[in-house]
A and B are shown apart, each in its own frame.
Chain A
Amino acid sequence: MIAIDKLCYNSRLRYENAGEKSAFAVITLCICVMSRSIAVAGVVLAVTGILTVKKGGVPVFRYLKFLTIPLAFLLLSTLAILFHIKREPLDLFAIPLGGWYLTAGTDSFFYAVQLVFTALAAVSCLYFLSFTTPMPDILEVLKKLHCPALLMELMLLIYRFIFILLDTADAISTSQSCRLGNRNYRTALKSFGLLGSALMIRAVQRSGRLYDAMEARCYDGRIQVLSESRPPRKKVIAWIILFDGALLIFAIWRRFFS
């Protein structure tokens, strides 16, 4: 149902230590976002892309397809940054619109290109994490970072419930389609409203029963989940430090000395 969730359970990097993977993804992400340089973004995009696809075994086309998810946002906002509507034309090009110009400058062009690269590289860091690490492992890392117990519990429960509710929503919308519920726009809207309220009702009823079941099994405010321990490997840590250190130096060099 959720494609990323499926893919990350099949990833070949799944059994690496989750802390290592999260640290790698987050540190690289931070360097990439802070550096604002095309070269750094290119390196990050290449490295995380290769790691996710080659090492992790995510099909290339699916990976590329996922990279296009934020494309609509990227295109629209880049257009907004790139184009100006002004009285006088700027240096890159200008399209006259009766007295005004739809125009763009070289500066904003390079700014936009840099932004697109940085954003794509950042997304590839995020995807490295989400394509290799199942959600329970990420939650485990958050727990080690002393995330408040209440939040941890909520996140764990929400993650479980998402799939239950998606299943229910799927079944409801299939049966609505069978009964011509999406015949035209009007019925489709009505169906969606009904689906929403039915889903909410099911969710509330289910949550009551679930609490009873938990209480019957001695729930005392803490959900204990066994975690398989996969100790971090020194070699991997060394590689991460080496790569991120080099990347940081490269980013600083690009920023201040070139």
Chain B
Amino acid sequence: MSKKEKRILAFLAVTALTLGVAPRAEAMHIMEGYLPGGYCIAWGVLCLPFLAAGFFAIRKTLQERRNLITLLAMSGAFIFVISSLKIPSVTGSCSHMTGTGLGAILFGPSAVSILGLIVLLFQALLLGHGGLTTIGANTFSMAIAGPFVSWGIYLLCQKLKVNKRAGIFLAAALGDLVTYCVTALQMAVVHNADSTFGEALIKFLTVFAPTQIPLAVIEGIITVLIVMGLETYAKPELKTIGFLKEAK
């Protein structure tokens, strides 16, 4: 083999490896042990105010309407289950949605922050997605940043009288993209030893883009389908869920 042939082979092998792995798109959980201790604690602390706000909001709601506890728990279980189901993907391989955009639209972002924390803990322990040390970072990207952005966009679209379906699609898809960008940022802050922060960020964004961008689009479409289904068949139930959002 000549040198050139070897290079071509190496390049092809790397590409094949990347693309071969790419279809197994998980929602972007940072795996256990990937962040050093200091950063784990820092992201955890950053989550605390949001979690505390969510906790107090939930407690207030429950003090007024005790019977919502089962609904709240069912919502948490729903987020877990919807994010553990395989969604149909173009390549026929398995990928999962985050479900947090949907959660934010249905239950409001403050409830989702607490539910998201619990769901992430269960995902780490029951499914091996994410981890205990990285739970702070994952909570920030998936249960706080994503849902808050989704919620904001959803409200904004309602204000601007954008078509409802388009609004839901945008909210879910952009929420997913924000989760992906925040995760890339969390990785780049830590792992930029021999390059600059910006360079590392671009690298992480590129590497995860082929899996995450299609996923965001699919998540958007599915969220629209689910919410539309609910509006058609479950008006009274949606009204019950609405109570979770009111207390803020």
Contact = CB atoms under 8 A, between A and B. Distances in A.
Interface residues of B, number: 91
Interface in B169-225: 187, 191, 193-195, 199-200, 203-204, 206-208, 211, 218, 221-222, 224-225
Contact of B129 (A69, A118, A189): A69
Interface string A23-34: 000100110111
Interface string B44-80: 0000000000010011001000110111111111101
Interface string B28-43: 1111111111001000
Q: Is the interface of A mostly helix, strand, loop or mixed?
A: helix
A123 B128 contact: yes
A208 B71 contact: yes
B77 A192 contact: no
A217 B25 CA distance: 44
B125 A130 contact: yes
A165 B37 contact: no
A159 B121 CA distance: 11
Contacts of B17: 75
B225 A73 contact: no
Q: Is the interface of B mostly helix, strand, loop or mixed?
A: helix
Interface of A: 2, 4-5, 26, 29-30, 32-34, 36, 66, 69-77, 79-81, 83-84, 95-97, 102, 105, 107-108, 111, 115, 118-123, 125-127, 129-130, 135, 138, 148, 150-151, 153-155, 157-159, 161-162, 164-166, 169, 173, 182, 185, 188-201, 203-208, 210-211, 214-215, 221
B194 to A, nearest CB: 5
B85 A197 contact: no
A189 B222 contact: yes
21 contacts: A4-B126, A73-B29, A77-B207, A108-B193, A111-B193, A119-B34, A126-B128, A130-B124, A130-B126, A150-B55, A150-B59, A162-B122, A190-B225, A192-B222, A196-B225, A197-B229, A204-B74, A204-B240, A206-B74, A211-B70, A211-B71
Contacts of B162: none
Given A102-B11, A111-B193, A161-B73, A199 B88 contact: no
B233 to A, nearest CB: 6
B125 A157 contact: no
A108 B194 contact: yes
A193 B229 contact: yes
Interface string B101-137: 0100010000000110011011011111101110000
B82 interface: yes
Given A69-B129, A157-B77, 15 more contacts: A80-B191, A105-B194, A121-B33, A122-B133, A135-B125, A161-B74, A169-B81, A173-B85, A193-B221, A196-B226, A197-B229, A200-B234, A204-B240, A211-B67, A214-B70
A206 B226 CA distance: 18
Contacts of A215: 67
A72 B30 CA distance: 11
A95 B5 CA distance: 12
Contacts of B7: 95-96
Contacts of A214: 70
Contacts of A164: 77
A142 B244 CA distance: 26
B66 to A, nearest CB: 7
B87 A165 contact: no
A130 B128 contact: yes
B245 interface: no
Listed from nearest, the 8 A-B pairs whose CB atoms lie closest are A193-B225, A122-B33, A197-B229, A157-B73, A161-B77, A188-B88, A196-B226, A70-B31
Contacts of B40: 33
B26 to A, nearest CB: 6
B88 A126 contact: no
Contact of A72 (B21, B58, B222, B234): B21
Contacts of B55: 148, 150-151
Contacts of A115: 34, 191
Contacts of A201: 230, 233-234, 237
A162 B81 contact: yes
Contacts of A75: 17, 21
A204 B24 contact: no
Specify which of A138, A189, A196, A208 lies most central, judged by the most chain B CB atoms within 10 Å of its CB: A196
A115 B126 CA distance: 24
Nearest to A190: B225
A2 B126 contact: yes
Interface in B1-31: 7, 10-11, 14, 17-18, 21-22, 24-26, 28-31
